[in-house]
Structure 1
Amino acid sequence: MYADLETSALEALTARLERDFGAMKARGLSLNMARGKPAAEQLDLSMPMLSSVVDSASCAAESGLDCRNYGVLDGLPEAKRLMAVFLDDIPERVVVGGTSSLTLMYDALVRLCLFGTDGCAPWSSLDQVKWLCPVPGYDRHFAIAEALGFQMIPVALTDEGPDMDAVESLVRDDESVKGIWCVPQYANPSGTTYSDDTVRRLATMECAASDFRIIWDNAYGVHHLYGEPGRQSRVLDIGKACDQAKNPRRYLKFASTSKVTFPGAGLAALAAAPENLDEIKRHMGAATIGYDKLNQLRHVRFLEDARGVAEHMARHARILRPKFELVARKLEESLSDVGGCSWSTPQGGYFVSFDAPEGCASRIVELAAEAGVTMTGAGATWPYGRDPRDSNIRIAPTLPPLHELDEALDVFVCCVKLAYARKLLESRR
């Protein structure tokens, strides 16, 4: 372990790492592990979808409706059936929107800010709105909350999901705590899947705010690296849990095909209790006559049903699995004797969560950039971009081809070692 080395040995090690780093910089690399984008090979899997709507005859929905024209606010019935697969719900509780679930989440919270819900005051009229943010978490979620002026409260994400003792304590007596972000399966970035007990506690907990909302962003629920899990190991559905707890309006579920078909050209959808859906559709009707039904048709004809989704995602997994296994192997081989480092080994999703020695994450990311490897910014997995330990780094291995990922990981582990060795030396001076 680096911390156990004599100062002279640590100085020699640091000098060697400086030479290795200099050689890497001299290679002039330009590699990217910044965001969880599908690789070109994954995008190619969905290209046949684009040829499924090619003439006027192919533009007709099951009902005979001409999808080139106006109408159908909340989605074609066949598109609702498809998106119910992603939302683990029934089609009658599904609204199919545009291409981005993030947009649906933003709109949902803006509606609560402007109009309130179920007789409660609009959130914009309140002195303060607080929002619970499991960490490490998704930077785009935090950006929405920050844009709306919410006070974000970090809550530790454990192996079972959010620290429910902390969550229950925060929501019990404070009416200004209005909601929580949840990525329940293969969470971004840790890969955590919530336990049944966590889901039930979220559904049943006592909340001072009657308009408390769980934003259930199941973005990675079909993104299994090792085959679709059996029912007993899949995340418990928050909708059923809230119904059973007699809190049917507490949740809003979201999903999309952004990393299933084409980011920016997929399908997004939400599911909610009927009372919530009535509110949502009433406000949606003021904003749009209907979303892109041709895109809904394309997705239905390409993915078809639950079996079609599973088969398609198995093809994705064959591309992604070697990349995640490479990350696990490289980190284990290169960093197991360094000390102070830990990382997740997810069974699905798009990211690996890496915890560097405290105080090193920002410097690691800076060093990697100097050597031509772009990483997600240190602190991005915390509200306001501030990781109090300066430790967590999100690794996104999906975009680069395998040989480029191999190179990028070599740079990354060198930067981890160098940043930590420098920090230890500085602490001894």
Structure 2
Amino acid sequence: MSLTSLTTDELSAFKTDQETAYAALGSAGLKLDITRGKPSPEQLDLASDLLTLPGADYRAADGTDTRNYGGLQGLAELRGIFAELLGLPVEQLLAADNASLSLMHDTLTFALLHGTPESPTPWVGQDIAFLCPSPGYDRHFALAEHLGFRLIPIDLHEDGPDVEQVRQHAADPAVKGIWIVPTYANPSGAVVSEAVAAELASIETGAPDFRIYWDNAYAVHHLTDERVKTPDIVGLSSAAGHPNRPLVFASTSKITFAGSGVSFLGGSPENIAWYLKHVAVRTIGPDKVNQLRHARLLRDADGVLALMDQHRQILAPKFAIVERVLTERLAAHDVATWTQPRGGYFVSLDVTDGTANRVVQLAKDIGLALTPAGSSFPYKSDPRDRNIRIAPSFPSLTDLEAAMEALATCVLLAAAEKTLTA
């Protein structure tokens, strides 16, 4: 029963029904939160053995005393595990501290202050723009904006960013890079195809130091039996004659402990040498004790995948609840569409145009916290005011179902209001 097919009287009656349901939610004393993709306590418990490692044996496989200074590139035994998972030579991957966002910040700051290997001059003082496939990861956009970059929205399709839009904008020398989450994008779950990755690797750009910020945050975060393979952007770029174009980021943040993990930076030998040259002034080395405990917990690439299968057993039922409630409550009324991700941490919900902010406010007023509308777009500005990011990972199954039922009521009420005034 599409709302647009109802008579005015029928639509008014429908709106009244939703108002009644909404009032009942307001009296229920809800305190629910689906704003951020945090691992649940049950997921964090999967890596609880980290708290007992490394024990008295604090030496790495090569004899390194992990308690001491040094080792800027990180422990080889841990890099070996993730080099295999990320499809990189181990010498072209470094392991750092807990946040890959810090690595992104450092590489951008180093480019501003010193330039990259191809930069004619440092970036500072220039008009710098970054391409932002949208909807996308709000922290990427916030970081670039904080550093004074212009943010240019690009359409994000199921197989990656719109290549023609990238080609058009990248011809401008001011455009220095693009943000990409290649596998299970935040929040849409999009997966960059091999063909799109190859085009991004080979596109001619106005800036000789154009960078692909390839944030492979969800490389092993599958929700089905299918283990989606991420394109080898480093190999593709090298073959296309642009070996330094991609910087690959990853972390264990949603594999082990979100706040006490290990981050990774991969790229060409020249890019790795460039980063190490500059980071050597900032630090005397990463937390190697933490890297050792991760290496011993995970053991090898198969150990990581086995652990992620346990995560999937916790997460998949939550995503199933999101799909079921949205289908049961919204599908028949033609008021929303949503993604059905094969992995990652989010569902991207598009509600009736012009109502996302209203939905978020309605939800807030009854005790349901949602990510602010527009957060997945540059400058937090969704031109159609329709996108809402859903993060199902942290709440219990019971709380998540209650949150989704409340969200559905808010979506229906906002849609009825909008349709009546159209």
- Matched ranges for 1:200-211 at <5 A: 200-211=198-209
Instruction: Provide the rounded CA distance (Å) in 2 between the counterparts of 1:86 and 1:423.
Output: 47
Instruction: Provide the rounded CA distance (Å) in 2 between the counterparts of 1:383 and 1:23.
Output: 36
The equivalent position to 1:424 in structure 2, one of 400, 419, 422, is 419
Secondary structure in 1 aligned to 2:124? helix
Structure 1 residue 370, shift from structure 2 partner: 1.1
Cα contact 1:87–1:254 (8 A) shared by 2 = no
Secondary structure in 2 aligned to 1:336? helix
Letter in 1 for 2:6: L
Structure 1 residue 425, shift from structure 2 partner: 1.5
Instruction: Provide the rounded CA distance (Å) in 2 between the counterparts of 1:227 and 1:282.
Output: 41
Secondary structure in 1 aligned to 2:393? coil
The aligned counterpart of 2:340 is 345
The aligned counterpart of 2:238 is 243
The aligned counterpart of 1:178 is 176
- Label 1:365 to 1:86 Cα distance change in 2 as closer, same or farther (>3 A): farther
The aligned counterpart of 1:299 is 294
Structure 1 residue 192, shift from structure 2 partner: 0.5
Cα contact 1:83–1:96 (8 A) shared by 2 = no
Cα RMSD (Å): 1.0
Instruction: Provide the rounded CA distance (Å) in 2 between the counterparts of 1:206 and 1:382.
Output: 26
Q: How many residues align?
A: 420
Structure 1 residue 227, shift from structure 2 partner: 2.7
The aligned counterpart of 2:328 is 333
Secondary structure in 1 aligned to 2:333? coil
Structure 1 residue 88, shift from structure 2 partner: 2.2
The aligned counterpart of 1:165 is 164
Letter in 1 for 2:124: S
The aligned counterpart of 1:262 is 257
- Matched ranges for 1:10-409 at <5 A: 10-55=11-56, 58-118=57-117, 119-126=119-126, 128-172=127-171, 174-229=172-227, 233-409=228-404
Cα contact 2:92–2:267 (8 A) shared by 1 = yes
Instruction: Provide the rounded CA distance (Å) in 2 between the counterparts of 1:89 and 1:29.
Output: 47
Instruction: Provide the rounded CA distance (Å) in 1 between the counterparts of 2:274 and 2:302.
Output: 32
Instruction: Provide the rounded CA distance (Å) in 1 between the counterparts of 2:197 and 2:339.
Output: 21
Structure 1 residue 407, shift from structure 2 partner: 0.3
Instruction: Provide the rounded CA distance (Å) in 1 between the counterparts of 2:309 and 2:78.
Output: 21
Cα contact 1:228–1:310 (8 A) shared by 2 = no
The Cα offsets for residues 53-89 of structure 1, whole Å up to 9 and x where unpaired, read as 222xx11111222111111111011121123134321
Instruction: Provide the rounded CA distance (Å) in 1 between the counterparts of 2:335 and 2:72.
Output: 53
The Cα offsets for residues 226-246 of structure 1, whole Å up to 9 and x where unpaired, read as 1352xxx51211001001111
Structure 1 residue 324, shift from structure 2 partner: 0.5
TM-score, scaled relative to structure 2: 0.98
Letter in 1 for 2:336: C
Instruction: Provide the rounded CA distance (Å) in 2 between the counterparts of 1:340 and 1:26.
Output: 25
Cα contact 1:368–1:411 (8 A) shared by 2 = yes
Letter in 2 for 1:115: H
| 4+ residue segments displaced more than 3 Å | none
Instruction: Provide the rounded CA distance (Å) in 2 between the counterparts of 1:86 and 1:417.
Output: 43
Ranges in structure 1 where 5+ consecutive residues have no aligned partner: none
Instruction: Provide the rounded CA distance (Å) in 1 between the counterparts of 2:187 and 2:296.
Output: 32
TM-score, scaled relative to structure 1: 0.96
Instruction: Provide the rounded CA distance (Å) in 1 between the counterparts of 2:392 and 2:309.
Output: 18
Structure 1 residue 304, shift from structure 2 partner: 1.2
Kindly indicate whether residue 3 of structure 2 is the aligned counterpart of residue 2 of structure 1.
yes
Instruction: Provide the rounded CA distance (Å) in 2 between the counterparts of 1:85 and 1:153.
Output: 34
Secondary structure in 1 aligned to 2:33? strand
Secondary structure in 1 aligned to 2:154? strand
User: Identical aligned pairs, as a percentage?
Assistant: 45
Instruction: Provide the rounded CA distance (Å) in 2 between the counterparts of 1:216 and 1:63.
Output: 30
Cα contact 1:85–1:305 (8 A) shared by 2 = no
Deviates more, 1:192-201 or 1:75-84: 75-84
Instruction: Provide the rounded CA distance (Å) in 2 between the counterparts of 1:158 and 1:132.
Output: 14
Letter in 1 for 2:120: C
Letter in 2 for 1:215: Y
Cα contact 1:191–1:351 (8 A) shared by 2 = yes
Letter in 1 for 2:250: A
